[in-house]
Structure 1
Amino acid sequence: MEAKIKYGRLIETHAHYNLSAFNSNRKELILDLHDMGVERIVIPAIGYESNFDMREKFDKDADYDGIIYYTAGVHPKFVCRLEWDSRYSRTERRELSIAPMIVPLEWDENKDSHMRAFLKDEQTVAVGETGLDYSTFPDNELMKAVQKEFFIRFIGYANKYKKPVVLHIRPFTEKDSAGRLSYIDNRVFTDAIRILKENPIQHGAVMHCFNSSKAVAQEFMAAGVEHFGIGGAIGERASDEFVEMVKWLPLGMLLIETDAPYQKYSIDAPSPVTSETMYQVVARIAEIKNMDPEFVREAAYRNAKRFYNLS
């Protein structure tokens, strides 16, 4: 479908338009975004079942042809199921620090077969989301072990099927009263970097929703990561060290994303977040780098097209 481009062409490198937040206006919104200039949209898998759900929502409608693409995988938060003790309410569990029982996702031959089929599909442009997420239970060793197992498994899929990888690496953090990060537990970065060095990614990787420092970015670059997804985190709540990282980041490593419906650019931004936010992100990055916004936008467009091998 040919866009009527209003705001300049971009590729949304990470948005979840299959989620229920968009049930009321999904098609109208996506086609309106296409007219704005959002030429293509990459929708990453979250839970295992989302790999099917995405295709059920988009593959049967020809109006999405040439617009919607997928990644295949399982988000690290969904490689385990949490089973809570029903004898206690949520408040009681929090007050008593009662942890859930961790039930790993069983990866059998059927799931493996489906994943391989997804990865052979031309609309599947990457593997992911995959990685490590210690944001909720940073000291649960079973959960961390299962996440590491799946992370290595999906790197293997990516290398076999010659796909890039969408990395979700999220630390445990604390925020101050203004919503700014006040503490980051860097153990997840250490674990992820070790896995990447021991299991090299062969066809490219992007750090999805990156909002950390130049030093952390350089560590991941040394482990083979060549792209960083920048979204709403660069808005009004961005830390000084994140702004400095974006100022330093080589333009050829930049990808623009929104993680729609998540990651607001500002506290009072409307919900759900949509890909229109990318234009704010481009403008902010251009301001930080003291560059022409059109130059930044076009570079981000070319980077996304090349990274996802979109002809």
Structure 2
Amino acid sequence: MIITDTHTHLYSEAFDEDRAEMIHRAIDANVKRFFIPAIDSTYTASMLQLEKDFPEHVFLMMGLHPTHVKENYKDELAHVEAQLAARSFYAIGEIGIDLYWDKSTLDIQIEAFRYQIHLAKQYQLPIVIHCREAFDEIFEVLEQEKSDDLYGIFHCFTGNLEQAQKAISYNMKLGIGGVVTFKNGKIDQFINQIDLKHIVLETDSPYLAPKPYRGKRNESSYIYKVLEKLAELYQMSADEVAHITTENSKAIFGI
């Protein structure tokens, strides 16, 4: 059984004291593939080092996270573009809109999101979307930009059934993580109405640890709790869910 964590911030400062041990724990638990989203230019060196340390397991994305779209966002987008020109990545991400922390930057968040979608099309890469309190705004951009060459993952999906179906209609897989195990997460109430071919697994570690680790630092080995919950909801074996979701990740990332 090979499990793929399609979204994990392994370079996070939360892992500075035990990063290698934490990654080996996950590998020993059959989590063999880690897809690493970018945040901003300050993390690029750490991401590249991570890839150097675990070349068979770590696959990098490049992008500007919406919460880091600030006054210098054009410089940050130039950095993203320079990185894409210099070497290969597996996705543009994580990108999108976040209105939980700062609504005042909505206009430049939309501009940065749209710009990076165009980069994804240029480089024939998937996008990995971050959406927080911004479904309407995200869908509006996707509606305007939709095309056969726009596809990817709706990371950390926390919407309802209608929003799930809408995301899928834009060629997006749903990234399902620890929230599916939460008592009040609500995803568990409808997710089995979505064909598993549209689902990928993720942790978003060090954030959003699943039960029974909720409130603690998340790590990629904890993805097995997400796997177990989906196996229960879909009434399938964990092996089947791991296989299907890993194949789905291959279809998105091309590896």
* TM score, norm. by length of structure 1: 0.76
SS, match of residue 41 in structure 1:
strand
Instruction: Please say if residues 4 and 31 of structure 2, whose CA atoms lie closer than 8 Å, have aligned partners that are also in contact.
Output: yes
Q: 1:60 to 1:226 in 2, by over 3 A?
A: closer
1:136 maps to 2:101: yes
Q: Which residue of 2 aligns with 1:193?
A: 139
Percent identity, please.
25
Q: Which residue of 1 aligns with 2:40?
A: 47
Superposed, 1:154-173 pairs within 5 Å as 154-171=116-133
Instruction: Please say if residues 235 and 284 of structure 1, whose CA atoms lie closer than 8 Å, have aligned partners that are also in contact.
Output: yes
C-alpha separation between the residues in 1 aligned to 2:86 and 2:250?
A: 19
Give the letter for the 1:58 counterpart: L
1:288 maps to 2:233: yes
Q: 1:26 to 1:219 in 2, by over 3 A?
A: same
TM-aligned CA deviation for residue 225 of structure 1: 3.4
Instruction: Report the structure, 1 or 2, having the larger strand content.
Output: 1
TM-aligned CA deviation for residue 270 of structure 1: 6.8
Instruction: Please say if residues 207 and 225 of structure 1, whose CA atoms lie closer than 8 Å, have aligned partners that are also in contact.
Output: no
C-alpha separation between the residues in 1 aligned to 2:128 and 2:200?
A: 11
TM-aligned CA deviation for residue 238 of structure 1: 3.9
C-alpha separation between the residues in 1 aligned to 2:156 and 2:46?
A: 23
CA offsets 1:158-183 (integer angstroms, 9 cap, x no match): 00000000000111xxxxxxxxxxxx
Instruction: Please say if residues 65 and 94 of structure 2, whose CA atoms lie closer than 8 Å, have aligned partners that are also in contact.
Output: yes
Matched residue pairs, number? 254
TM-aligned CA deviation for residue 246 of structure 1: 1.0
Q: Which residue of 2 aligns with 1:34?
A: 27
CA RMSD of aligned residues (A): 2.0
Q: 1:106 to 1:283 in 2, by over 3 A?
A: closer
Unaligned runs of 5+ in 2: none
Instruction: Report the structure, 1 or 2, having the larger helix content.
Output: 2
Superposed, 1:114-133 pairs within 5 Å as 115-118=81-84, 121-122=87-88, 124-133=89-98
In terms of Rg, which structure is larger? 1
Q: 1:213 to 1:162 in 2, by over 3 A?
A: same
TM-aligned CA deviation for residue 65 of structure 1: 1.3
SS, match of residue 97 in structure 2:
strand
TM-aligned CA deviation for residue 264 of structure 1: 1.6
SS, match of residue 125 in structure 1:
coil
Q: Which structure's relative contact order is higher, taking Cα pairs within 8 Å and 6+ residues apart?
A: 2
Q: Which residue of 2 aligns with 1:74?
A: 64
Instruction: Please say if residues 45 and 51 of structure 1, whose CA atoms lie closer than 8 Å, have aligned partners that are also in contact.
Output: yes
C-alpha separation between the residues in 2 aligned to 1:9 and 1:238?
A: 29
C-alpha separation between the residues in 1 aligned to 2:77 and 2:31?
A: 33
TM-aligned CA deviation for residue 297 of structure 1: 1.3
CA offsets 1:204-256 (integer angstroms, 9 cap, x no match): 2211000221111122233x13300000000133444x223311111111100
Q: Which residue of 2 aligns with 1:297?
A: 242
C-alpha separation between the residues in 1 aligned to 2:250 and 2:191?
A: 20
Q: Which residue of 1 aligns with 2:174?
A: 228
Give the letter for the 1:165 counterpart: I
C-alpha separation between the residues in 1 aligned to 2:79 and 2:222?
A: 37
Give the letter for the 2:35 counterpart: V
Q: 1:300 to 1:60 in 2, by over 3 A?
A: closer
Q: Which residue of 2 aligns with 1:58?
A: 50
Instruction: Please say if residues 97 and 132 of structure 2, whose CA atoms lie closer than 8 Å, have aligned partners that are also in contact.
Output: yes
SS, match of residue 40 in structure 1:
strand
* TM score, norm. by length of structure 2: 0.92
1:152 maps to 2:114: yes
Q: Which residue of 2 aligns with 1:105?
A: 72
SS, match of residue 153 in structure 2:
strand
TM-aligned CA deviation for residue 120 of structure 1: 5.3
Q: Which residue of 1 aligns with 2:160?
A: 213
TM-aligned CA deviation for residue 51 of structure 1: 2.6
Q: 1:256 to 1:20 in 2, by over 3 A?
A: same
TM-aligned CA deviation for residue 106 of structure 1: 4.0
Instruction: Please say if residues 126 and 164 of structure 1, whose CA atoms lie closer than 8 Å, have aligned partners that are also in contact.
Output: yes
